[in-house]
Amino acid sequence: MKQRTIKKPVEVVGIGLHKGVPVKLRLEPLMENSGIVFYRSDKGVSIPLDKDYVVDTKMATVLGKEGAIISTIEHLMSAIYAFGIDNLRIVVDNDEIPIMDGSAISFVMMLKEAGIKELDAPKKFLKITKKVEVKDKDKFAMILPSNEINFDFEIKFNHPVIGHQKYNFKFSTKNYIKEIAKARTFGFLKEVQYLRSIGLALGGSLENAIVLDDKGILNDSLRFPDEFVRHKILDAIGDMSLLGYNFIGSYKAFASGHHLNHLLTKEVFAQNAYEIFEFDLQKEKSLAKVFS
């Protein structure tokens, strides 16, 4: 299995969730060992996909460098991770990745349109070698050694539509498209009203998020009965892309969010709980199937 990029550039224009202004997003191929690089075309600033460039995790995962930021990278990175893409230039002309429909399916469609190209260099993976856990009261996120890639998430909300949800996702590109990519972000009406009062969530609508009041959802319907926990997995996949490689291990969380996920990626490196290896078809045949 070789490193991957895309065959051709693709672009789309969408609305930024918080500012509510149009954003042009363009994906461009890069050569092997280039990594994932964001570029603010309006500022002339490149920002590598790296945990050390994370500047905010309150409402989304936000990268920043030299006064330029790029917010809400998690949905796009979730799709890029799911396709096993190692090298890519992500160009935006504003400080947010467009929210699209609130899920990752639009980015999946962009990547399918672009096509996947294998490069000459072998693909590298990050293998988790020991358990790492971060906590915030009863919330936690952990990653454990495993020969598979797995995401196990649990949430509890005192709300009649959400309640207690659990989902165990055995990762593969095909499973991601079928089970995770269409799950939308969600928020509560009272929170949206507050965010708008302070100049945030200006681009949020029923077209790009599940919105809940005290009794139910304001949208017509859900895409999955447990769409809420599936979206948390979508976010977690995007956040864990900050490890810099597709990882081999088992992620498990209760009520985690962008902040805990970010702390987890930092702790993996701080505790030296990993090894990086090059793909070997004779040893890792199952990995090739995961990304087929």
Catalytic residue among 18, 75, 231, 258: 258
- 160, with CB counted inside 10 A (0-12, 13-18, 19+), is exposed
**Tens digits of residue pLDDT in 2-43:** 999 999 999 999 998 877 889 999 999 999 999 999 999 999
Task: Indicate if 258 belongs to the active site.
Answer: yes
Retrieve residue 249's tokens. 């291990």
Retrieve residue 110's tokens. 């962009």
Given 3-state DSSP classes, what are the helix, strand and coil percentages for the chain, each rounded to the nearest 5? 25, 35, 40
Helical H segments across the chain, by residue range:
74-82, 105-114, 173-175, 189-197, 227-240, 258-270, 285-290
Rounded to the nearest angstrom, the gap between the alpha carbon of residue 203 and the centroid of all alpha carbons in its chain is 20
Domains and CATH numbers, the chain: 2-123 (3.30.230.20), 125-290 (3.30.1700.10)
Using pLDDT thresholds of 50, 70 and 90, give the confidence band for residue 194: confident
Which whole number is the average pLDDT over 115-133? Answer: 96
Retrieve residue 39's tokens. 């570029």
**Tens digits of residue pLDDT in 196-239:** 777 767 788 889 999 999 999 999 999 999 999 999 999 999 99
